[in-house]
Amino acid sequence: MDEKILEIENLAVEYRTDDGVVKAVNGLDLTLEKGGTLGLVGETGAGKTTTALSIMRLLPDPQGVITSGSIKFAGQDILSLSKGELRKMRGQHISMVFQDPMTSLNPILTVGDQIAEAIRLHEKISRAEAAVRAQSMLERVGIPPDIPNIPISFRVE
């Protein structure tokens, strides 16, 4: 039996603005098995980024509000975690690269160097060990670790 790494049930998210309430996600259900891949595809404004921000608990506060549903990562209820527990989870188990690579990644460092730096920020390991782990991660997804940070984009038509 496959292990569920991410489970979202009946997720509803809204943004409360001076102009009113915008329902960004309404009744989302999804499951991702460990080792699996999931792509969220939709028009601009469909709720893809809001879903990702909800999983990471990075919705803008106080405007973005999860009004119902549950989000579990590796069986742990993300919505009940403290800030410290969230920081540890984000650093060691789950992360997000935002849509604009020029503001998400440093254009003068290699992708491998930036991943190694993130590993070192969250774990007490040497530069050499972090570099080896970063290289391994990149090899798993078919990216050479020494390429410069160049914008990579995908088009869905």
**Domain ranges within the chain, ordered by starting residue:** 4-92, 99-157
pLDDT of residue 155: 38
Superfamily of the domain at 4-92: P-loop containing nucleotide triphosphate hydrolases (3.40.50.300)
Q: What is the pTM of this model?
A: 0.68
pLDDT of residue 121: 83
Task: Provide the terminal-to-terminal Cα distance of the chain, rounded to the nearest Å.
Answer: 34
Q: Give the C-alpha separation, 34 to 69, whole Å.
A: 21
- Mean pLDDT of successive 10-residue segments in the chain (157 residues)? 88 95 94 86 88 93 95 94 87 74 70 84 87 85 64 39
pLDDT of residue 102: 63
- The sign of the CA dihedral 78, 56, 23, 36 is negative
3-class secondary structure for 91-112? Answer: HHCCCCCCCCHHHHCCCCCEHH
